[in-house]
A and B are shown apart, each in its own frame.
Chain A
Amino acid sequence: MSVSARARSGRPARKRRDPLWLRLLPSLSVVLFLLLWEIAVRGGDIAPIILPAPSSVARYLVAMIADGSLPWNLAVTFMRIMAGFLVAGVLGVLVGVLMGMSKVLERVIDPWIAALYPLPKISLIPLLIIWLGTGEAYILTISAITAFFPVVISTYAGIRQTSQELVKAARDLGANTRQVQMNVVIPAAIPSIFAGLHLGMGVTIILVVAAEMIGGSNQSGMGYLLIRFGQVMETEKVFASLVALAVFGGVIMKAQGAIDRWVAPWAVGKS
């Protein structure tokens, strides 16, 4: 029988595309909002110090890119985010896997996670500043601690939720305990690990920017820019920085999704 013919027809047919106006609706929604904002500011005689018009925010945005201040501070923040995320990701996955596989470690670590997870990590800032000062070590520590928890909890849950049926099947095919762990339990946990890493990335971004605002003795990064412009009431620059930060965050999240699909296409959309 013709297996290949069946496979071809078995694939879902390509979705019919929505009409043009429906596809343009998201962009129209944004454009319309900006237009109304512009009109309100100009017609309503609102002081730019309270609410600048989108057009003037755009002008400042271009100027800040041109003078290099925005790219530089974004790059600094990006490096800090990557450092915090890397530390939290590696430690979180490692501890989560070990907890999921060892009853002893699970019992030892669990009370700490249960006690520390609900604590708002931001409340550790005063203590960390006392211990570490306000430099890079402090920013790295606060962001890594915060991101560690969602990663470790998701990883642990993923390991524990491995289908026992798959484990039995692997054993039946001759896999020993170690082989089951490496070839079944860990791959089965990957969707859940990815979900934890996404949550971890989200809080890393928040905590790095927050730490740059509070302390941040190196006077760099997007958090520092926002605070400084805010203090001197340069509202256009505050808005321009916010726009840059939002776009930057979106790009990071999209890139992370793309990496997920590249590393483990079968895992995407599972968790």
Chain B
Amino acid sequence: MDIIVEKLVQVWDDGGAGVRALDGIDHHFKSGTLTCLLGPSGCGKSTLAQIVGGIETATSGTIRIVDPANPSLPPARPGERSVMMWQSLNLFPWRNVIDNVAFGLEMAGVARDERYDRARALIASVGLKNFEEKACSQLSGGMRQRVALARALIMDRPILLMDEPFAALDAQTKIVMQEELTRIFERMRKTVLFVTHAIDEAILLGDEVVVMTARPGRIKEVIKIDLPRPRTQELVNTHEFGELYDRILHLIREEVLNAMRQQDEAIA
């Protein structure tokens, strides 16, 4: 699905003039590409993903979600063709692994046997075979990520929104999860918006990196990542990776400093 965002503005009500989180975002997220939204904390990158996912409603601007294969079809509502994987995962603690994964199918009224079959297949494909009946609290951080990923993938939506899903993981687990996501993406070719504040993660995963400014969030620059797929962690050691890293670091350093200044002012 193509996601065409135009003049998107988001103002949060703060009882006064309002906080401008997004200030005129224009971007065309192309079908089947993985776009990383990169920016300092508070730049509105998560907000952008949530608006695309229909979880928040923008103050103004338009989002058109269209199928490039059938451009004559009416555009989809935000949220209708997408599913979110959350930073805090938001697994339901009172449900075991399989009932978390099957949640969306259960809500849609899919019969028990069918939804369990599909959930089992997905649980196996993310490497959690035999953990179906476990409580989520018994799982490690990386395993919970897998449950959350399976819970999103089972919806079989063409758009996958990921809001810093790996931010809380330890470095080694993060590498494994990044490689796993890369494999899944290269197999399924969904349209993915991946929110992150890690430059290396953005280059490793993304087909393009949208660098955002500090608040109010605008698009500072869009960088194409033409590194070959399939990608693995070894890419990090290549010359091309290093060049991209330096270029993005240069762009983002300014914005991080701006964001820190804003925070200092807010505290003072």
Which residues of A are interface residues toward B (Cβ below 8 A)? 1, 3-4, 6-7, 10-11, 163, 165-166, 168-176, 179, 183-184, 187-188, 190, 264-267
Given known contacts A4-B130, A184-B92, is B143 in contact with A172 (CB within 8 Å)? no
A179 to B134, CA, bound (A): 23
A184 to B103, CA, bound (A): 11
A239 to B94, CA, bound (A): 45
Decide if A172 touches B139 in the complex (CB within 8 Å).
no
Instruction: Name the B residues within 8 Å of A171 (CB-CB).
Output: 55
Instruction: Name the A residues within 8 Å of B88 (CB-CB).
Output: 165
Decide if A266 touches B107 in the complex (CB within 8 Å).
no
Question: Is B127 an interface residue, CB under 8 A from the partner?
Answer: yes
Decide if B140 touches A7 in the complex (CB within 8 Å).
yes
Main secondary structure of the interface of B (DSSP, over half): loop
Per-position binary interface string of chain B over residues 93-120, scored 1 when its CB falls under 8 Å from any chain A CB and 0 otherwise: 1100000000110011000000000000
Given known contacts A172-B53, A173-B104, is B86 in contact with A165 (CB within 8 Å)? yes
A1 to B129, CA, bound (A): 12
Given known contacts A1-B127, A4-B130, A266-B93, is B55 in contact with A172 (CB within 8 Å)? yes
Main secondary structure of the interface of A (DSSP, over half): helix
Decide if A173 touches B103 in the complex (CB within 8 Å).
yes
Of the candidates B83, B135, B137, the one whose C-beta lies within 8 Å of that of A172 is: B83
Question: Is B142 an interface residue, CB under 8 A from the partner?
Answer: yes
Closest to A165 in B: B90
A179 to B107, CA, bound (A): 7
Given known contacts A3-B127, A3-B131, A7-B131, is B93 in contact with A169 (CB within 8 Å)? no
Decide if A266 touches B53 in the complex (CB within 8 Å).
no
User: 23 pairs across A/B with beta carbons < 8 Å?
Assistant: A6-B140, A6-B143, A7-B131, A7-B140, A10-B139, A10-B140, A165-B88, A166-B90, A170-B107, A171-B55, A172-B53, A172-B54, A172-B84, A173-B103, A173-B151, A174-B104, A174-B155, A175-B103, A179-B107, A183-B92, A183-B107, A184-B92, A267-B94
Given known contacts A4-B130, A6-B143, A264-B94, is B83 in contact with A173 (CB within 8 Å)? yes
Question: Is B79 an interface residue, CB under 8 A from the partner?
Answer: yes
Instruction: Name the B residues within 8 Å of A11 (CB-CB).
Output: 138
Question: Is B169 an interface residue, CB under 8 A from the partner?
Answer: no
Given known contacts A166-B90, A169-B84, A264-B94, is B107 in contact with A174 (CB within 8 Å)? yes
Decide if B108 touches A266 in the complex (CB within 8 Å).
no
Decide if B94 touches A173 in the complex (CB within 8 Å).
no
Closest to B155 in A: A173
B53 CB to nearest A CB, Å? 7
Question: Is B176 an interface residue, CB under 8 A from the partner?
Answer: yes
Decide if B94 touches A266 in the complex (CB within 8 Å).
yes
17 further A-B contacts with Cβ under 8 Å, apart from A172-B79, A183-B103, A187-B94, are A1-B127, A3-B143, A6-B143, A7-B139, A10-B140, A11-B138, A163-B90, A166-B90, A166-B92, A169-B84, A170-B107, A172-B53, A172-B55, A175-B103, A179-B107, A187-B92, A190-B94
